[in-house]
Structure 1
Amino acid sequence: MKKLPIYFLLLFLISCGGDPDKSSANQNLDISYEIDTVMVDAGDHFFFVRYGLSMSDLDKERKLLYNFNNQEMVMEIIDLENLKLKEVRQYEKEGPNGIGGGFIMRIQVLPDESVLFYDFVGIHHVANSGEKITTHKLGEIEWQGDQLAEEEEINMSSLDTQDGKRFYGFYGTQGFDSKILGLVKIDLSDQSLRLFPSDFLQFTSDFEISFEMNGGGMAKAPEQNRVRVLDDKILITTSSKNQIWQWNLEQDSLISQSYESKLSSNSKKGNFPMQASSQEEFRAAMKEKNKEVSFGRLIHDTEQNKFWRVHRDLERMTAGDTIIYKHILTAFDLEINQVGETLLPEGILFFEPGFYLEGRLWKFLNIDDEVTFVRVKPEIK
């Protein structure tokens, strides 16, 4: 098995914490961490790394990472305990087990090892044998309960589930002028739909960059707004602000918590062009936007009963006009109270780690098209 030498191993003990004036729940706990790097043995196989393993999901029970190649309809299954490729599984586009010729944008591995494939119109549910269980085209379902207006749709990319039946996400208008109009719960077992109208994320549209091309085409660079189902919690985060919402289904309510980082900004400022009329203008606007703070996803640490998050902010610009980021690791307790934060060492590209396993946060790193992981092992003191 190929191994990448550990290029550093660091142990830090750093005092960190939130601002007690901002939130009484913030604490001043110490975070220590170790960092190492490992490489996966691919044998004679060439991994699909075009999208930075964003088309992957973890089977937490068996410690396997499923990475989907949506160009060739192939699933690469990586054994994370032994850091080697375990299996390559071929899927079909057409036929009784076909998952469609459309663009698969996401996968999700369920506890029974079956896989959900999300495309722009629906969800394909496939057993681990490769046999398709069913396809749900959400726009064709006659929903029981609440009804979407003619111009409204369920945001497919936002949906999350734990059992493959009940899904939670956003709904709203689609297309170039898309807007999040609220939260949606769907149950595919009885085809029921509930809508929870709310404009609580409307402020994130202030940080979108619109691109209108000469040929009439349009594009938009939105913020990353996410719904995450974790056991009895439904958590909502945005990349634009240091804030987390908890969705209480029983009370039909949102509980909002704001946080104060002493190591970065707490919200995007919007000091960049909001519209571009050429690719050059769009790239320039995106570069300015990328100088502003961006908050990553929450990752559940079942061993220490914590949540971890990494966000980044501008540290400085080099003489060659390259952005150098600082990366901040933040810890939250199970009630989503911030309990500490600390800077990661400069040069560690650790924004948006993918998952937590064996006491470590894992972040994919592409080294010569090989699957490599930078791993941070955090501990709260």
Structure 2
Amino acid sequence: MKNLFLLLSAALLFSCAGESEKSSDSGNLEISYELDTVMVDAGDHFFFVQFGLSMSDVDKSRKLLYNFNNQEMVMEIIDLENLKLKEVRQYEKEGPNGIGGGFIMRVQVLPDESVVFYDFNGIHHVAQSGEKIATYQLGEIEWEGANLPEGEEIDVSSLDTKDGKTFYGFFGTQGFDSKNSGIAQFNVIEKSLKLLPSGFLQFTSAYDISFSMDGRGAAKFPEQNRIRVVNDKILIMTSAKNELWQWDLAQDSLVSHTYTSQLTSNSKKGNFPIQVNSNEEWSAAIKEKNKEVNFGMLVQAPDQDKFWRYHKEMDRMTAGDTIIYKNVLSAFDQELNQLGEAALPEKFKNADPVFYLDGRLWHFLNIDDEVAFVRVKPNISE
């Protein structure tokens, strides 16, 4: 159960530094789009799709998708240009190049084709050849600059980097009753640490579902609060509300961008139980929560000088008790002003991960345990 909680757990909350706010409505530009679906040729290989490509990343310059199988410690590398399996790369658990025993939560591919593996305790950086560059156990580093408060740690699951040296993520207490105390910047080579204590995400804890057994915390279904490094921007996103934040490193402050959708709610309402004590109650609470609005990741489209983002909310229930969603695609400019939004077809399935390549937004689609992608080619006009 401990591992179940850690897999489900995400960063939460606490007290705030300087913050400014900008507001935007849904915009008045028209969004149009084209849809298609493509299949990947796996040959005689069976893709690892158990977690829906949740442990994958894209090397956009080389048009490759890296999908990590943490059960067999192999990386499936898909050629997205030719839509076929390119390579299956084996990694080691133990020894000088070992990356641990199956506790990898996320992978990230860097421009030099090296791969960063994030596990519960730290970071493994491995070269394209498979030779390990370094392992960083964050709890053992004596940081220069700021000091983490007593009892608080860096949340490895939240981290993002551009170069494998400087990382950004949340910090706070860990465990079942974890609290997010703010955001951190650290460099593993210089061993420097910078903290921005802030409670700007405190509200999201009201939407966490906690599962207790025999009076003890067993699992948690939290909101997805995430940090991503995009060019020179440090962006923070939440699934709970129509809002984005940017960490201004020079001013050591947060800039909040709030938006208004004309097609859905702008925040979760919390009309579901947040404390359950049985598997039946857990499943029912999650189903009720899934009816409420959910905001996805901001996805950069460099060739369009824009960002795109999906979100969804229940439209209605079918007679067979299936949720039919309103799926919405929104466009933002480089300054994070919302330009417009558009409803997508009823049968469109909006799910992570989403990435942008060759003018299209790509979504993984599992077709009989084969890898396929639904591709949306968005356009925007006056």
The interval holding the TM-score normalised by the smaller chain is over 0.9
Corresponding position of 1:173: 173
Corresponding position of 1:304: 304
What is the deviation of 1:199? 0.4
Matched, 1:145 2:139: no
Is the 1:166–1:187 Cα contact (8 Å) retained in structure 2? yes
Could you tell me which runs of 5 or more consecutive residues in structure 2 were left unpaired when the two chains were aligned: 1-21
Corresponding position of 1:186: 186
Corresponding position of 1:83: 83
Corresponding position of 2:255: 255
Corresponding position of 1:321: 321
Structure 1 range deviating more: 26-35 or 103-112: 26-35
Is the 1:353–1:361 Cα contact (8 Å) retained in structure 2? no
Superposed, 1:1-381 pairs within 5 Å as 23=23, 27-214=27-214, 216-381=216-381
Normalised by the length of structure 1, the TM-score is 0.93
Tell me the SS of whatever aligns to 1:211.
strand
Name segments (4+ residues, structure 1) moved above 4 Å: 22-26
C-alpha distance in 1 between matches for 2:253 and 2:288: 36
Q: Which amino acid aligns with 1:106?
A: R
C-alpha distance in 2 between matches for 1:146 and 1:111: 29
Equivalences, count: 360
> Cα gap change, 1:187/1:378 in structure 2, threshold over 3 Å: closer, same or farther?
same
Corresponding position of 1:10: none
C-alpha distance in 1 between matches for 2:147 and 2:352: 35
Work out the percentage of aligned pairs sharing the same amino acid.
Answer: 71
> Cα gap change, 1:143/1:326 in structure 2, threshold over 3 Å: closer, same or farther?
same
C-alpha distance in 1 between matches for 2:137 and 2:89: 24
What is the deviation of 1:30? 0.8
Is the 2:328–2:341 Cα contact (8 Å) retained in structure 1? yes
C-alpha distance in 2 between matches for 1:103 and 1:145: 30
C-alpha distance in 1 between matches for 2:25 and 2:285: 37
Q: 1:281-337 deviations in whole A, cap 9, x for unaligned?
A: 111111111110000000000111100000000110111211111100000000000
Q: 1:103-128 deviations in whole A, cap 9, x for unaligned?
A: 00100000000000000000000000
C-alpha distance in 2 between matches for 1:102 and 1:42: 24
Alignment RMSD, CA only? 1.2
Q: Which amino acid aligns with 1:305?
A: D
Normalised by the length of structure 2, the TM-score is 0.92
Higher relative contact order (CA 8 A, sep 6+): 2
C-alpha distance in 1 between matches for 2:342 and 2:25: 17
What is the deviation of 1:182? 0.4
Q: 1:49-90 deviations in whole A, cap 9, x for unaligned?
A: 011001110111100000000000000000000000000000
C-alpha distance in 2 between matches for 1:72 and 1:102: 8
C-alpha distance in 2 between matches for 1:318 and 1:25: 31
What is the deviation of 1:24? 5.5
Tell me the SS of whatever aligns to 1:147.
coil
What is the deviation of 1:23? 4.2
Is the 1:209–1:273 Cα contact (8 Å) retained in structure 2? yes
What is the deviation of 1:217? 4.6
C-alpha distance in 1 between matches for 2:213 and 2:282: 10
Tell me the SS of whatever aligns to 1:273.
coil
Is the 2:66–2:77 Cα contact (8 Å) retained in structure 1? yes
